[in-house]
Amino acid sequence: AMQGRVQGQGQPGRILHLGTSVAHRPQHGTLTYGVTKIAFHRLYQQINAEEGLKGVVCGSLSPGLVKTEGVMDHVDKARALSLPHVRYFDDAFAKDWTTPVEGLVACVEHLLSLDRETFASREWKYSEWAKEQKGSKYDSKWTNR
């Protein structure tokens, strides 16, 4: 059932897993989120290893902290529960360590344009990708941090 959904008009499909460091570094208050993310991380690796979906290749991107409504809602709830990782968010927001949405969109666009082997070759990190873009068509104010 999944194969038909990830292949378009007879073309090989791609799945881009959006990961998180929480999957690899447990933090108090992130049990369900972290375990779910590590499970999806393994799923993307397993699909590539088994070639279980004919013609489908999986990649993975760790986008960093993207300041979305969902993240802000999480921070508000975590603050109400006095969870310790709120300090990380407060510090990241104060120092503008967040990933800009425009930059993330450009990164995803770039990754999806790569050849299949390169796309699936590693877990991509937005922060590293942004540094590598100097002088490329993706170079802009939000990739030069």
Give residue-wise pLDDT tens across range 66-121. 988 998 998 999 899 998 888 888 998 999 888 988 889 999 999 999 998 899 88
The two tokens of residue 94 are 């104060």
Give this prediction's pTM. Answer: 0.76
Alpha carbon distance 21, 63 (integer Å): 9
Distance (Å, rounded) from C-alpha 145 to C-alpha 134?
11
pLDDT at 2: 45
Return mean pLDDT, the chain: 82
CA separation for the pair 138, 131 (Å, rounded): 10
Give the pLDDT confidence score for residue 41 in this predicted structure: 84
- Max CA distance (Å), the chain: 51
